[in-house]
Amino acid sequence: MHRFILSRPLAHLVNLHLLPSITRYRSMSTSIPGKYDSWSKEKLIEKLLEYEQREHSATPKTKVDSSVEAPAKSRKHELPSSENSPRPKSKKVKKEQRPFDITKYPKRHIALKVAYFGWNYYGFASQGEKGTVETVEDQLFRALLAARLIADPATCNYSRCGRTDKGVSGLGQVIALDVRSNIPQDESRDRRTEIDEIAYVDLINKQLPSDVRVVAWSPAEDSFNARFDCRSRKYKYFFAKGGLDVEKMREGAKMFLGSHDFRNFCKIDPAKQIVNYERTVLEADIKRVEGMNFSSPELELYELNLTGTAFLWHQVRCMMAVLFNVGQGLEQPSIVQQMLDVDTLPSKPNYEMASDIPLVLYDCQFDGLDWQFSSNKDMLGLSRLHKHIVEQWYTHTTQTLMFSTMYKELGSLLVKPADQTPCTWSEHLGSGKVKATGTNVILGGGRELRLNKYIPMIQRQRQEPFDILNARYNAKRQAKEASS
């Protein structure tokens, strides 16, 4: 029989380690007869080592029993183990973001209805790269680029319905442009309705400041142009009644109806070389603003509703300035008809136009547009827009309330005019005893123009006729081109 030979130190260790197992097997062999009865000690050790080897290879390694602690002195200078010590935070390497390639996506032509409060902007239209002033269109372009709906404002087939002036607001401005879409251009009409389009209203509004919002969007034909396809534009101009004769103003406003030459109700710009100043007014009426509570008739608010096919530069503000003169009794309503007669009055009298703050582009009318206010069935987009407008309304109403409170406080102050009975400041102003030299010409929006003497419109100095202004501008431009 072959014997398994161990070196003396190893055999000694094996004997100590396996002694309990050998004793157990021997006790078993005395009570249970078997094949191990006749085995020698060395063969039993060999067999047990074989079993332990198999068990060791089949069982995963386990951690050392933590209950067996090292002596305190030896632990004092030990370095903390890697398992217990805090691991340094690994810095995540940011993957380089791929540049967004808008050319890989479908595109479509759409119209957007835009609302904005223009008091903080230098008009609606962008002034271009050289412009140093902020416009509403600048905000829209930034939002469209940030939302990755366009690649470049210069190449997105862009058009606008109107160019409102500095400070003028808009609730129904319309623009048109090509934007990124979820719907492939070659999809059938039936299939297009099944594909969820981009939530344009929500996506753009997230990038806009609080005083500019997209209200709705509509699919549009590729040939659609927001300027030339507009059927009509409606403006509103708000003003306080004060001491104005609203009936006379309404009478004068009616004279604007129809097609007229409005050269005396606009700002002449020779750079545009305009030769046709005829425009058509479809609606011109003055109404009381409903739904407002007023503490006195003088504080009642009215609005001029003016609808036309197109308007000239500063036309509405010039029209309103003349109507204010009529309301103050400085001019008769017939002055409107006289200024529309370009044979009698071939060029514009010099006068200050009305304030920009109360003017708003209220609506623009088109054929064939299907306005969509939200991109989901639960109208979530419209709900968000409504919530935002309510927040803005609350903020500005609170500010108005503060000014109203101070206005009332000033009116309740007790004053004692010379040789008069003490009274409140409001009573003193309403007594008619406050006499001021000169004339305060109302310009709207709380503004007034102080004149020592009011000169009737017909008697004022007039500008040069537009054809002379155009010819002079052309001569200067040609001389400049020749010199360069």
Residues 6+ apart with CB under 8 A from 312: 262, 265, 266, 267, 274, 277, 279
Other Cβ atoms closer than 10 A to 306: 25
The span from the CA of 302 to the CA of 246, in Å, is 9
Residue 114, burial from CB neighbour count under 10 angstroms (0-12, 13-18, 19+): buried
3-state class percentages of the chain: helix first, strand second, coil last, to nearest 5: 35, 20, 45
Q: Which of 37, 101, 152, 165 is catalytic?
A: 165
Decide if 326 contacts 200 (C-beta within 8 A): no
As given in the structure block, the two tokens for residue 77 are 């200078």
Which candidate, 388, 389, 367, 370, places its Cα nearest to that of 197?
A: 370
Helix (H, G, I), strand (E, B) or coil at 348: coil
As given in the structure block, the two tokens for residue 166 are 């500095």
Helix (H) or strand (E) segment spanning residue 191:
helix 189-192
- Rounded to 5 degrees, φ, ψ at 301 are -100, 140
What are 176's strand-pairing partners? Answer: 111, 159
Place of tokens 């109203």: 404
Decide if 254 contacts 272 (C-beta within 8 A): no
- The runs of H, that is alpha helices, within 69-178 are 72-76, 136-146
- Rounded to 5 degrees, φ, ψ at 415 are -125, 160
Decide if 472 contacts 270 (C-beta within 8 A): yes
The span from the CA of 73 to the CA of 91, in Å, is 38
Beta strands in 11-168 (DSSP E): 107-116, 159-160
Query: What does the angle CA 117 – CA 123 – CA 127 come to, to the nearest 5 degrees?
Result: 135
Handedness of CA 282, 116, 315, 261 (dihedral sign): negative
The span from the CA of 466 to the CA of 348, in Å, is 9
Query: What does the angle CA 103 – CA 105 – CA 111 come to, to the nearest 5 degrees?
Result: 100
Is there a catalytic annotation at residue 65? no
The catalytic residue positions are 165
